[in-house]
Chain A
């Protein structure tokens, strides 16, 4: 097996184009397990974590740019990033996993329970997919097409995640529940972003995204509509929660029954909204 460690995006894209039978490796926390379990080894691994341009969280004019090879640990501790993304990242695995896993890896692995997926959908993020001599921006909405399936082509790399500055304003939150308290894989996760009017205090805009409840992360427009333009009390939040419940289509799997996912999402939703409205600055 050959192991390439390009140091620039240019070299990476050339490697991707030139080499067939290649596989991108970022942190490796998903890939190495797959390789161990299946015994299948790609002919060529292209490690993207030595490329400085792919690492780091940068404030730009349009908002924030996150390099795909930025570790989950760095995402979870970054103060500039919206709460829902930082908290989502902090829920992943354990400190050991977070030090190695990358946001790009989490997105491209596209497991429905990946904890950065719903937050980025919620924040209307865009992903830059680059190939040699080509590049395209794909929204989070369009990037995921099924469990562990994305629109990423063979010779492409997801290099950058962009969050528009609009979503850096307002407040957001994230919640998840797993089978246990530590190192818990999400049975359900939920990200909410909202903006309140400075004058009236009413919710001007709200975006709700849920993960692990459908083949891809999904928005819940019905619940968003109910809360938009309101200053919701507990009762309204719960009623919106019921719409979240009906807006998801979870399945039974080894980690959870569909019924539990359906039931528990109301509690998650209630907690997140309440938290954002009561203590918006705490993350």
Chain B
């Protein structure tokens, strides 16, 4: 790890937006007050599939307080949501219902109560059709087509080397099939928007969201106006994890349409049940996995078939398909890889982006198979991983080579070291089973093959010696605003209290693409780094004049410009800023950071895709109660190569939070359906982890230096989900001697299996 002399980057500074959060003063979307505010409440289908024959809103309009019921015909532009082709999702279902909970009209009223009553009074005639609820039903030859083009959303292939040959020549071939279930984001704040019409013909939409510019574009299209007529302001957002944008677009458009139509502000706030059934969830999956290996443990081939159950609409399925495709072989050097990744339509809640984005599902399959292979070869599971792990300079599954910042072996070595000195307890063996599981994983940073990956950020030095940072990436709790502040402070020699990071609204920051894919710290950070760097040039130029010396004799530090060779010779930066302003050197700069364009063969998915990968190895030790199936996590270690860590405490917070979400996926959380209807749409029967379910995650960073991120950073938001989920599954297998091939592995599943 390159040694860097840093003062802000690398420090556990307090969150820059923390004060307003702990005092309750931060305004989330539902906290705004507007005079004459109207409220919207949707009518949602109670069945999973059907043809809409008639919608009668006459009784609804008679309910006191109800001013309107918006129908598909009231949408001025396209009745479409969704950020990606095939653009198959209507804002309001028009002719066909494709999932239980889908909305088909929305009542607008002077109070939430009235809007709900209005929605209830709408009389609807929907002819039910037999819903398609499983992958097999969807793929059956005679299956009804959920969409005109059939039930396959999209399918992608990855082909490297010659798998047929590898399997034919292998000493060992193993194969198995794994499944994972849907998972609900369960962010604490549900989807909320408030649309405010203005006299100038523009409409402002305050939204709890991740990607304000995407949403702006879609709302404008739905309103049939140019994007400049819509302003999206990201309010403080109570968690997103990938899940808010599709729904925010949907209700943002509806609120805007109603607001413009009635000339009044309109708020739409999802109830918890609506949030669960009516917005995206994680794709369920079925993964068939084949491994070919030599006797000495060298993996020579992997053939993988991924089927993602994506629910009723495409949403982000195309990208999840890609990400699952690319990551399914794991962080290993394998010469021959053949993957087919397909998303399928079913008549269930549509699936989209959720922290991990396809990687948790394939990692579970991949890492379960690694343990099975280790067992077959009578090899230590960590040794097997280490033997095959990628090294700098080697081709990964997409034949991309990274010369630097490939820390997977370092993470495995760290876990080997920890595991060596860890003694799994053995108390009360009649009552308890103990086991330890490992998992290695990787996650590509930034958009990769998902499109143009650019961030624009501006930094402006003010005359009071402070700096204002403006960037289109959003704070969702992950601490990105703080990271940007740290980077700007580092470059400009400021203390943290001197840096302000703007709130995101589409009028005042540069479109920086979506806040996804763990890209904020790298691509976003790089833009801030560059912009701050340009401002620094002006300040140095000015300070040089003030000191009457060369620019390279000056350093910016602790809110001062000081001489390198005489610490006592310093000028307050605010004085430098004032002088710079009056002299006319630019105090503000807008810079762009563009990830190297993904350059790859689209048929075989071979080539350069990501700017970097985060690598990780997790270790989880558990105790299982033989009488109840209850699991206690005794130890959890998450070792990651995330490049340079900008904010250690925030880094730990991300690892701890993502890991618990991974545990939820692997153990506690299960969306349950009956005839395609979610029967546990609440935070109790859908068992989101409480504080009593937390796991003792220890975060260890093995820092490498990533040349494509400022100061060597990569990202950390998503990877621990996969590591925790997969190591849990392997721990259960180790403790029970039984391989569970479906997530979640609940207490019930464990007890049922071990009692046999």
Contacts and interface: CB of A to CB of B under 8 A. Distances in A.
Q: When A and B assemble into the complex, do they touch directly, with CB atoms less than 8 Å apart? A: yes
Interface centre among A255, A268, A270 (most CB of B within 10 A): A255
A17 B343 CA distance: 62
A181 B755 contact: no
Contact of B691 (A182, A185, A270): A182
Contacts of A268: 627-628
Given A39-B117, A179-B668, A185-B685, A264 B690 contact: no
Interface string B607-627: 000000000000000000111
Contacts of B116: 39
Interface centre among B626, B630, B687, B751 (most CB of A within 10 A): B687
Contact of B751 (A183, A263, A271): A263
A220 to B, nearest CB: 17
B680 interface: yes
B177 to A, nearest CB: 23
A268 B679 CA distance: 27
A260 B689 CA distance: 20
Contact of B752 (A185, A260, A267): A260
A266 B625 CA distance: 12
B693 interface: yes
Interface string B107-124: 000000000110010000
Contacts of A182: 689-693
Interface residues of A, number: 21
Contact of A260 (B668, B687, B748): B748
B65 interface: no
B672 A180 contact: no
Nearest to B749: A260
Contacts of B692: 180-183
B552 interface: no
Contacts of A271: 627
A271 B668 CA distance: 23
Contacts of A39: 116-117, 120
A267 B693 contact: no
A95 B684 CA distance: 15
B662 interface: no
B751 A255 contact: no
A257 interface: yes
A264 B629 contact: yes
B366 interface: no
A1 interface: no
B691 A267 contact: no
A73 to B, nearest CB: 17
Given A260-B751, A264-B629, A254 B672 contact: yes
Contacts of B629: 260, 264
A23 interface: no
B61 to A, nearest CB: 18
Contacts of A181: 690, 692-693
Given A180-B690, A182-B690, A255 B628 contact: no
B680 A263 contact: no
Interface in A193-245: none
A169 interface: no
Nearest to A234: B430
B746 interface: yes
Contact of A180 (B120, B668, B748, B752): B668
Given A183-B692, A255-B685, A268-B628, 18 more contacts: A39-B117, A39-B120, A179-B668, A179-B747, A180-B689, A182-B689, A182-B693, A185-B684, A254-B672, A254-B679, A254-B680, A254-B685, A256-B748, A257-B748, A259-B752, A260-B752, A267-B628, A271-B627
28 contacts: A39-B116, A177-B630, A179-B668, A179-B687, A179-B747, A180-B692, A180-B693, A181-B690, A182-B691, A183-B684, A183-B692, A185-B684, A185-B685, A254-B680, A254-B685, A257-B748, A259-B748, A259-B752, A260-B747, A260-B751, A263-B751, A264-B627, A264-B628, A264-B629, A267-B626, A268-B627, A268-B628, A270-B627
The 5 closest A-B pairs by CB, nearest first: A267-B627, A182-B690, A182-B692, A181-B692, A179-B687
